Structure formats: C-alpha cells, structure tokens
Amino acid sequence: MGNRTLYFVLSADNGKSVFVTKDGDMRIPEFPEMVDHHIGLENPHVYNRWFEQAYGIPVFRRYIIELEDMDSTIFLFELVDPSIGLQTGEFVPSVRVAALYDANPFLQNVLMNLSEDYSKSELMPWVGTDGYTPYLEWMSAEMRHRNMTVNGEIQQIKNAFVSTVFRCPTNQGDFYMKIPGSAYIREIAMTNRVREWGIAKLPEWVAADVPLNVFLMSDMGGYDLPADSAFDLLGSVIDQWAQLQIDALPFLNHEAPYPFYDLRLPVLRKKLDELVDEGMCLLDGSPYELKAEEISLLRSRQSHFSDVLGEIEKYPIPDSVDHGDLRPGNIRVTSNGWKQPLSSSADASTLERRQYYYAHVLRRVISGS
C-alpha cells in the first residue's frame, strides 16, 4: 500500500474542461487505493481499465504529473472515442473545478494551468492537440494494407516519457505499436542500422514511419527477464551483450557515427566541461532554476567526474555500441535462439534454448565506457 492519492484528470478539449463525477459533490475521480511514488513504468492498462469500468469511458493515458514532496499523483487522460456519451459525469471548466481544491495546491495548480499545458511537451510527441489519433490511424492503415483485422481490445501497455506502447490483437496475432519519446528520435534509424549488420536478433518490424517516429512490430513471445533472476542467467545476458559489442566493431564508422550518438571519452570530457553552463541555460526561468549554491556544488564535482573518465581511459576497451538502459525490464526471453546453460546441477543433461532480444532502444552508443 502506497501513501499517495491518485487523481484521474480527463479532458476532451485540450485542457479547457475536465471530467467530474455526478455521484454527490462535483469532484475529480480518484483511484480507490493509495499508490506508490514513481508508478509511471507500471502497465497503464490496469488504471485505464479501472477508469472505464468505474465511469463507462475508455481512456488512454497521456502523461503523469508528480513531485517528490507531494502526497498526490495525477494521471492525464484522453478519450479513446471523443464521440462517446457521458452517463456518470460531465465536463466542467478546469478553472471552476480548480476552485474546489484549495486543500490540495498541487492539484489546484495543475487544473488552473491545464488549458495551457495539456498539449505541450518537448519529450512526448503524442502530447499534442491530436493526441494519439495520428498514430492509431497510421496503425489502422498499415493493418488494412496487410489484410489484418483487429479482433480484440487495443491496450496501452506502456506510457512514460521514453515511449508509449500499444498492444493490438489481430487475426494474425498480437502486434505492438511503439511511439518513442523525442529524446530517442533516432531509434528507428539506429535499430535499422544494427539490423543491417546482422549481428543481433531483433524484434520483427512490420512497418515504420520515420517522420511520425512510430513503428509496428510483431509479438516476440516469451517474457521479460525477471529482476530477481539467478546470477548465472544475468551473467549469460551480459556475456551475450558483450559479444554483440565485439561483433559490432568492424561496422562502426567513428568519423561519421550517425545515427548513433557519439559518447566516446573525448566527447564526454567536452560535455563534462559544458554540463553546468548548459544546465543553467536549460533550467533558467523554470521552477527548477539552479540556485547559486547548487551551481557551486556542481562545479566542485566536475573534477571528480573528470578523474572517473581518467580511470576508464586506463582500460583497453574498444569503443563500441552501448545500450544505455540494459536492465531486466528491457530484455525479452524467448524460446528460440542461442543455447544457454541455465543449470549447474550434475544431472543437467540438456541445455535450455533461450534468446535475449534487446527490445528497448539501442542508444547512447559509440561509448568508451
């Protein structure tokens, strides 16, 4: 059991009004249980489904708002079908609803500024006036072109600033549409390049749209590598990733690394020198603007990180591709692929076949670390 109240803020007109309930006093819907901090990487479909069952309105989550020192978390929703009729509530101007929450300044502030902020994001391209509509229309068109028909509920199974993912059941199996965040605008190009090298088993792409930055892939099967996996299994994953890094060496062009990001040690040193100044410019005028003591502390720590880079330089490790977020939740275990010994018992006479698909973005590459 967590210690935060979870509010659901649904708007049908880009933040000008929000959905409130009809059961008694006018209020923003709340989840019946307290939640933990940082629930953004949990499957959003659980909450989307609860809202639909409670209020008869199918929704998708746009983004989450939460702060460390607040006791509330806010989900921003959009309608799956804008033409749906309302039976359990109504849309009321956001500013009017905000006046009801003097006791919750965090939620009140979000509601007061919702019409200005609802469709603005530098990181999440789906947070626009059209929401998910262009992506879902693109997916539908690609499916029709391939004689695929939807035969179940389209579910949103991930929603974070890094990406949003939808699962779509069809007559040809489950397919997944992924919309990368703007910070990973090169994901399609990078994955295609690694695919061209032929050194890794990657998810099968059905279609991709580079300008829209979205792609559709088939079901890989299997399951995510559990976070509590045995050390020998985790070790085999590291071994296989290291082999991929070795296999990539002949293909890398250090003079023209695009579409990969160049984060070799000389580049990192330059970035380290510029980090504080860039951070000051980026946060200037925002609620997170750096204070003088914070700037001084950052500058005092630059020498430490410079020493760390110096230690890394001592190791004879060639520059190669790096994942940047190689953790269990981003590794898929399937039943086809390389042979891996998963047991050390004396009577283990067979080797179980496993394949580790690196399903997450291949990024932060050409790294010297």
Q: What is the pLDDT of residues 220-258, one digit of tens each?
A: 777 778 878 888 888 888 888 889 899 999 999 988 988
The three-class DSSP label of residue 125 is coil
Q: Which of 127, 126, 103, 124 is nearest to 114 (CA)?
A: 127
Looking at residue 131, its pLDDT comes to 95
Amino acid symbol at 299: R
Regions of the chain with pLDDT less than 50: 337-369
What is the identity of the amino acid at 235?
G
pLDDT tens figures, 20-32: 998 778 899 999 9
pLDDT, position 363: 31
What is the distance between the alpha carbons of residues 205 and 145, in angstroms, rounded to a whole number?
15
pLDDT for residue 287: 65
pLDDT confidence of residue 69: 74
pLDDT at 361: 30
Question: In terms of Cα–Cα distance, which of 237, 259, 255 is closest to 331?
Answer: 237
Domain spanning 133-218, CATH architecture: 2-Layer Sandwich (3.30)
In the chain, the N- to C-terminal Cα span, in Å, equals: 39
User: For position 323, what pLDDT does the model report?
Assistant: 80
Topology alike, domains 5-117 and 133-218: no
CB distance 181 to 161 below 8 Å: yes
Q: How many Cβ atoms sit within 10 Å of the Cβ of residue 50?
A: 16
Q: Where are the domains of the chain?
A: 5-117, 133-218, 223-253+322-358, 265-313
CATH architecture of 5-117: Alpha-Beta Complex (3.90)
pLDDT of residue 348: 28
